[in-house]
Amino acid sequence: MYSRLRSNFRLSIITLLGASAVLGITPFALYRFWQGTILAGLIDLSILVSICGAVVYAWRTSDTYRSGFFLAIVACGGGVAVATVQGEVGLFWLYPSLITSFFLTVAPVAVLINLAAVMALIIHGAAFSSHEQMWSFVTTAIVVSCCAYVFALRNENQRARLEQLATLDPLTGIKNRRSMDRELTAAVASHRRNGLSYALTLLDLDHFKRINDQFGHSVGDEVLVEFVSLLERHTRKSDQLFRYGGEEFVLLLPGVDESGLQAVMNHLQHSLRRSLKSPAGPVTASIGIALLRQGDDAASWLARADEALYQAKAAGRDRIIYAEALAPVTVAG
């Protein structure tokens, strides 16, 4: 639970709003029923139930965009309703709603929701005792919304940047091991749910340490970047490439059968032999492949591919070994 809140900003905002609604709105709803203002109490109760329902939906489905949009409408719409019924006192409930909407949904949508809320109050007019009060409220509401917009936009940019740093390899620009772990788990779940086939390929550049030792890490980096570029040119858009560590890479291929996979990997191996160069000459790769089997989890699947890669390197490198056979499919040419 805590890990989901840490990793999902919008879910944390939705959960915080739900907790605030229970703690903040419930006493007012009870007080208004006790005071005899039934309509105001029913509005508060409706807002509370709607918010709690949206929080439960967000946790069960992880669909924070729809639930966030719904909550933004409920919060602002409820604020308008309370202000209309309660008058000047109810206006104060709208300010937190105007701020929260920018964290519940995307900024352009939040702007429209906030404008609609303010316009509804202006058109109805019952919440204001004078024109001066109305325009004072409109001005402060706009200022609050603008500040929230700037803060939310900056926060979104920073989170996107942090997400990029956390999931992408800085040298090659492809996904890193953290992303790989998540995608392998998702592939296993997809296979169990609908039977979609997957192949996991580990690729290790042969004698890469020699390149770094003889020509420096900058040359080695250039070889890695070119290697990734070559892989991307010879794989499908649906295939996913990850940097596993150092000169090791992982290629996840969905929807492949065994015969088609062999043709693809043989073609990829020949392309590497022909095109990947270093100052010391051609650069080859050892390749281990494992098809996803029933009963596999992400760790066991990866371990089988890693064992196949080990066998490819032990057999003389520049080999493709399938975990299912643990025998060379091609030999060095």
For the chain, the distance separating the N- and C-terminal CA atoms, rounded to the nearest angstrom, is 53
Phi, psi of 214 (to 5 degrees): -85, -35
Phi, psi of 329 (to 5 degrees): -90, -35
Helix 94-104 to helix 131-167 angle (10° resolution) is: 30
Q: What is the spatial distance between Cα 63 and Cα 111, in angstroms, rounded to a whole number?
A: 21
> How is 79-140 classified by DSSP, letter by letter?
HHHHHHHHTHHHHTTHHHHHHHHHHHS-HHHHHHHHHHHHHHHHHH-TT-SSHHHHHHHHHH
Whether the CB-CB separation of 239 and 254 falls below 8 Å is answered with yes
| Tokens of residue 169, six digits | 């390899």
| Tokens of residue 234, six digits | 């010879």
Which sign does the torsion angle of CA 171, 177, 182, 187 carry? positive
Annotated active-site residue 247? The verdict is yes
Catalytic pick among 247, 248, 258, 324: 247
Amino acid at residue number 256: V
Hey, is 318 helix, strand or coil?
A: coil
Residue 27 bridge partners (DSSP): none
Q: Which helix (H) or strand (E) holds 282?
A: strand 281-282
> 182: which DSSP letter?
H
Enumerate the H helices of the chain as residue ranges. Answer: 2-7, 9-35, 38-61, 64-86, 88-91, 94-104, 107-124, 131-167, 177-194, 208-215, 217-233, 258-275, 298-314
Give catalytic residues, as residue numbers.
Answer: 247
